[in-house]
Structure 1
Amino acid sequence: MSKRPFTLPSTIFGNALLTNPARVITKNNELSALFHTLVAGDIIACRLRLKYEEEHLLLDLVERGVQLIPSATAQLASRSKTFQARLLGSYMIPQTVVIYDIHGLLDTVSLFGHRGVEEVVLKHDRKNAGLGIHLYRHIEDVYNQAANNSIPYPFVIQPFIADSRDIRVIILDDYSEAYERTNPDNFRNNLHCGGDAEVFHLNAEHLALCNAIMKRASFPYAHLDLMLTEKNEVYLAEINLRGGIRGAVIDSGSYQKKVEAIDKKLLLEKM
């Protein structure tokens, strides 16, 4: 099928007419009609609202040479904590493990027993805002529930680090800011779970770590949650393309403008 010139919406590029033959999809509802006709060089310039188990379409699009903004990797990592842990585990707490079945969980019981790990944190794959995080006194407690089908697979297990600090970092191209989230009554520091926010000053090491993580996972912008331990170790807890900005200095209007500017820049580079 031959490709035709595409005029981008004025909200992205003013009234400019682009004559590049690549088709550009900027709305999710356009994808269904055009999905089977997309070819190498076409661009999807929006976050895809894919259903659970529909993410395999991302692989097909990439295989066909369709370009995605944000990247397919970043979009999938934002949806799945287990994928984050597989992709970015080297930046996370040591012994962070993704559990896919009872056999993997049994192996992890032995691993944690050998390493002397007792308290563990379980993270459900697709829950946010602290709602999918659980603290267990021992990994055997996780095994007992999982063996009785009380915990859905897959999930992430990692050692619990007491008295760590929770830092939310927002990076939008050359703009960055951070704030610390605290909750004296709950180990979940998320503001949604009752936590408070206070400005945190990032140093060069923190920024370098965030940039390395974003590069590895092809994130053009990100909300990153860092964990700072009492030993001054810094680990990645989670990453997402978007997140709440409650507690941030930047306002919603400025935030949206910066995201749109990044998307526009990436789109121009691909045209």
Structure 2
Amino acid sequence: MSRIIRSISDFRTFYPSLQAGDLVLGPMPLKPGEEIKLWDLHDRGVVFFPELLAQWLSRSKTAQAEVLREFMVPGTFVAYNRADLAAGLSALGPATEVVCKADKAHLGLGVSRWPTLESLVSLAALQVLPYPLVIQPLVEGARDFRAVVVGDYAEAYERANPHSFRKNLFQGGSSHPARLAPEHWDFCRRAMARGRFPYAVVDLLLSPSEEIFLSEINLKGGLKGSQLGQTGFRERVRHLEEELARQWESSSKTRL
């Protein structure tokens, strides 16, 4: 009989016996190092919702920069070591102003701005940096939007901070509802489709010349500026999960 795993306790209890046809419903709050279990189960034929690609991208900024680079600011690259960072000098030019993002930091705490790529490379020659790092050319004057897409619901709000290039509300930014153009919503959904996201919180940059770029994408995120809010978002995600569970069970699958 196939099973539906809904909690981390059941995930750990039944991990050894899960097999093809079983379903792991919702991202599991794994401990560092437990990720290997996901790939093992995937190899056994266990199905995940959201799909593993989306779950992994949601965990890692560097993974996003590798897989979703086509949607990001041109010139974005990942530095896994000092040699990668130095290689960026020839690609971007030493005088390029850049933004550096630590892999798994949140709330804007891992984001730094450098007047030139050369200054960051020079720092790396003197001390060990917390690799891997995402390096992106700074888009001066870019506007920052957060889009929320879950099921048939979609909304967006703009974040602003006159005192910092970090627009996060946690960092002192403010927000107001915003309307995205149809082509911007299409951009969001194409990025979601590429990363296999069934729902997402999508951060966008809009340049002064109206070019749209993906900043980050996640399965969850701060929603203080949204009309939906965390409670509404979780309810809609839960509805998606329950609908999938009903379909699974109607196909002769049984839950634990």
TM-score band by shorter chain is over 0.9
String of CA shifts for 1:34-69, please: whole Å, max 9, x gaps.
112111111111211123343233221211111111
Distance in 1 separating the partners of 2:39 and 2:176:
40
1:172 is matched with 150
Query: Is the CA contact 2:4–2:24 (under 8 Å) kept in the aligned structure 1?
Result: yes
Distance in 2 separating the partners of 1:63 and 1:33:
19
String of CA shifts for 1:122-171, please: whole Å, max 9, x gaps.
00000111111000111122212223334111110010111000000000
Match of 1:61 among 41, 59, 62: 41
RMSD of aligned C-alpha atoms? 1.4
Amino acid at match of 1:108: G
- Relative contact order, CA 8 A, sep 6+: which one is greater? 2
Match of 2:66 among 52, 75, 86: 86
String of CA shifts for 1:106-126, please: whole Å, max 9, x gaps.
21122111xx75110000000
Amino acid at match of 1:23: R
Structure 1: segments with no counterpart, 5+ residues: 1-20
Match of 1:153 among 126, 131, 135: 131
Query: Is the CA contact 1:117–1:159 (under 8 Å) kept in the aligned structure 2?
Result: no
Match of 2:32 among 29, 32, 52: 52
Task: Count the aligned residue pairs.
Answer: 249
Matches within 5 A, 1:48-197: 48-113=28-93, 118-197=96-175
Match of 1:225 among 203, 219, 225: 203
Query: Is the CA contact 1:120–1:139 (under 8 Å) kept in the aligned structure 2?
Result: yes
Give the TM-score of the pair, scaled to structure 2.
Answer: 0.93
Structure 2: segments with no counterpart, 5+ residues: 250-256
Shift of 1:254: 2.4
Alpha-carbon spacing, 1:105–1:210, altered in 2? closer, same or farther (3 Å): same
1:36 is matched with 16
Query: Is the CA contact 2:206–2:213 (under 8 Å) kept in the aligned structure 1?
Result: yes
